[in-house]
């Protein structure tokens, strides 16, 4: 759990929360779920892509309305559960639900909160989405776009970046350039970037994780990127994106302002 989190990060009106990007989606999802359970809420954690094989005690669901009572009984006893469609025989990874199944789950009122990992990054800290990504259910209320701060300020081609060639094309930059504030701003604001496939009505949160691994220059870079986004998009959902930074591992985060 992340203690003493700003109230804006746990929006009381957000039933279905989708996490996209790279650099800590699974750990942030688990922390948010723990926060909700501690507050007395019932929680479902799931994915529309894949989840790590080491997720404990998953419940498998066929996505059919007729089997919802079984899930309700389980959730009443346990207060939270990890929900998946199946397990991949070769890797053991949990296979995700269809977005339609997640929408059905949300409409059923089964859980107070549903957290969905809607993107894959193979453990990297930064990525640009592929053509088929992210897979965001239509009933999503809040989308959290995540980057790992350990990928900032270094060359695009490094061990922290997933599919660097896609990011280079998206940001119109050579692969040898550094991941600076301009690149980050482009990733956040571009329609094919971090918040790709997000409906206009959804609230958006940008979260830079792993800030415990970087220095003050990374904070300055984030603030500069935020200013670039707001200057280029003074109105609309992009400008309204809330920016946070912190460390899920160390259990802290804070609102990012322009100071």
144-176, pLDDT tens digit by residue?
Answer: 999 999 999 887 777 778 888 888 888 888 877
For the cut 90, the answer to whether the pLDDT of residue 54 exceeds it is: no
CATH number at residue 136: 3.40.50
- Percent of the chain whose predicted confidence (pLDDT) is above 90: 62
Whether 107 maps to a domain, the answer reads yes
- Mean pLDDT of the region 48-57: 85
Is 149 contained in some domain?
Answer: yes
Angle separating helix axes 216-232 and 181-189, nearest 10 degrees? 50
State how far Cα 5 lies from the chain centre: 17
- Average of per-residue pLDDT values in the chain: 89
Which residue has better confidence, 258 or 18?
Answer: 18
Say which residue, 167 or 220, is predicted with more confidence: 220
Looking at the domain assignment, is residue 3 inside a domain? Answer: no
Pull the structure tokens for residue 59.
Answer: 């419940």
Q: Which pLDDT value is given to residue 59?
A: 93
Within 10 angstroms of residue 227's Cβ, the number of other Cβ atoms is: 13
Q: Provide the 3-class DSSP secondary structure of residue 154.
A: coil
Mean pLDDT of 36-65: 90
| Residue 161 pLDDT | 83
The confidence score (pLDDT) of residue 3 equals: 61
What are residue 209's DSSP bridge partners? 148
Instruction: Tell me the CA end-to-end span of the chain in Å, nearest whole number.
Output: 27
β 242-247/161-162 pair status: unpaired
> Is residue 1 situated within a structural domain?
no
126 within some domain: yes
Per-residue model confidence (pLDDT) at position 217: 93
Structure confidence at residue 14 as a pLDDT band (50, 70, 90): confident
Residue 122 CA from chain centroid, whole number: 14
- 8 is a domain residue: no
pLDDT confidence of 1, banded at 50, 70, 90?
low
User: CA angle at residue 184 from 177 to 144, to 5 degrees?
Assistant: 145
d(CA 2, CA 212): 14
Q: Confidence band (pLDDT; 50, 70, 90) for 259?
A: low
Locate tokens 């992210």: which residue? 134
Please write the tens of the pLDDT for every residue from 82-136: 999 999 998 889 999 999 999 999 999 999 999 999 998 787 888 889 889 999 9
Q: Which residues of 37-58 are buried (b: 16+ CB within 10 A; e: fewer)?
A: beeebbbbbbbbbbbeeebeeb
Q: How far apart are CA 107 and CA 63, in angstroms?
A: 13
Query: Rounded to an integer, what distance in angstroms lies between the CA atom of residue 50 and that of residue 48?
Result: 7
Looking at the structure of the chain, the number of domains it has is: 1
What whole-number distance in Å separates Cα of residue 97 and Cα of residue 84?
6
Number of helical H runs and strand E runs in the chain: 6, 14
Residue range 230-245, pLDDT digits in tens: 999 998 889 899 999 9
pLDDT of 7 above 70 = no
Alpha-carbon dihedral sign for residues 230, 233, 236, 237: negative
Instruction: Give the model's pLDDT for residue 165.
Output: 85
Looking at the domain assignment, is residue 5 inside a domain? no
- Domain assignment present for 6: no
Structural domain range at position 189: 13-255
């Amino acid at each position: 759990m992340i203690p003493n989190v700003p109230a804006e990060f746990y929006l009381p009106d957000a039933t279905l929360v989708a996490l996209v990007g790279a650099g800590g989606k699974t750990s942030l999802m688990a922390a948010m779920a723990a926060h909700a359970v501690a507050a007395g809420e019932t929680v479902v954690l799931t994915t529309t892509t894949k989840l790590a094989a080491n997720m404990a005690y998953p419940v498998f669901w066929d996505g059919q309305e007729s089997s919802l009572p079984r899930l309700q009984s389980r959730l009443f006893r346990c207060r939270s559960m990890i929900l998946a469609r199946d397990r991949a025989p070769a890797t053991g990874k949990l296979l995700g639900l269809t977005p339609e199944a997640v929408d059905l789950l949300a409409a059923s009122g089964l859980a107070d909160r549903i957290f969905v990992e809607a993107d894959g990054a193979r453990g990297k800290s930064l990525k640009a989405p592929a053509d088929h990504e992210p897979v965001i259910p239509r009933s999503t209320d809040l989308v959290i776009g995540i980057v790992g701060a350990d990928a900032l300020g270094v060359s695009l081609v490094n061990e922290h970046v997933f599919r660097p060639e896609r990011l280079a094309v998206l940001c119109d930059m050579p692969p040898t350039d550094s991941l600076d504030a301009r690149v980050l701003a482009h990733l956040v604001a571009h329609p094919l970037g971090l918040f790709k496939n997000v409906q206009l009505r959804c609230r958006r949160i940008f979260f830079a994780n792993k800030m415990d691994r970087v220095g003050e220059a990374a904070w300055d870079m984030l603030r500069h990127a935020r200013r670039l986004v707001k200057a280029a998009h003074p109105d609309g959902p992009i400008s309204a994106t809330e920016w946070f930074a912190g460390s899920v591992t160390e259990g802290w985060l804070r609102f990012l302002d322009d100071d």
